[in-house]
Amino acid sequence: MAERWSPRAFDESAAVSPEQVRALLEAARWAPSFGNTQPARYLVGVRGTPAFDAILATLNSGNRAWAHRASLLMIGVMVTTNEKGDVPYAEYGLGLASENLVLQAVELGLIAHQMAGFSPDAVRAAFSLPDDAVPKVAIAVGSPAPADVLAEDWRIEREKADRVRLPLAEFAFTDQWGKPAFGS
């Protein structure tokens, strides 16, 4: 888990195999969900396919500037209703499934970057989504490349920056808010 991060420098000559794509989706499929409602769905576009181009077109310009090098683009969609009615915690279920997916990418020696910078309306139109299917996240997957494939200096700096996380003392509390459950 500590190896997971969100790089933008993808090797545009690399490919993901159908077996790797299947492994990513199987990892997502086996994620927990509230009441086993399984609200996560994925739109899958392998580079060189119309689905990839359609997903790429829904990304904002900043994300398109680097995501076009990814081997695989996906859109995580949450289904908000099923045969029993509204699906509670659908967004949480999609989040759990997507985390499984990106952790599986790390296990396979791939990198993954999750994005909010895309147009849900464009996804709806391009893929004819029903009303109860809500696009929530775009995910780029592929193989790493040197940071200098990125055009903007700030992106290169960001790519090389140390990963920083809150210390545990600021993350987990006990007895009352702000009282650390553990020391640093």
Structural domain contains residue 128:
yes
Structural domain contains residue 138:
yes
Structural domain contains residue 64:
yes
Structural domain contains residue 67:
yes
Asked whether the whole model's pTM tops 0.85, one would answer: yes
The predicted structure's pLDDT at residue 154: 58
Phi-psi region of 35 (alpha: psi -120 to 50; beta: other; left: phi over 0): left
SS (H, E, C) 146-162: CHHHCCCHHHHHHHHCC
- In the block, tokens 């680097």 appear at 66
- In the block, tokens 């490919």 appear at 15
In this structure, the chain runs to a length of 184
Q: What range does the domain containing 126 cover? A: 18-147+162-170
- Find, among 138, 4, 163, the residue nearest to 73 by Cα: 138
Question: pLDDT (tens digit, 0 to 9) for every residue of the chain, 184 residues total?
Answer: 767 667 778 999 999 999 999 999 999 999 999 999 999 999 999 999 999 999 999 999 999 999 999 999 999 999 999 998 999 999 999 999 999 999 999 999 999 999 999 999 999 999 999 999 999 999 999 999 877 888 766 566 777 677 677 888 888 899 999 999 987 6
- 71 vs 45: CA distance, rounded Å: 9
Structural domain contains residue 82:
yes
Domain harbouring 30, CATH code: 3.40.109.10
> Are 183 and 169 contacting, i.e. CB atoms less than 8 angstroms apart?
yes
First-to-last alpha carbon distance for the chain, in angstroms, is: 20
The predicted structure's pLDDT at residue 158: 72
Structural domain contains residue 8:
no
Structural domain contains residue 6:
no
Structural domain contains residue 125:
yes
Sign of CA pseudo-dihedral 49, 96, 78, 81: positive
SS3 percent helix, strand, coil of the chain, rounded to 5, is 40, 20, 40
Count of structural domains within the chain: 1
> CB neighbours of 43 closer than 8 A, spacing ≥ 6?
51, 55, 74, 75, 77, 123, 127, 135
- 147 vs 30: CA distance, rounded Å: 33
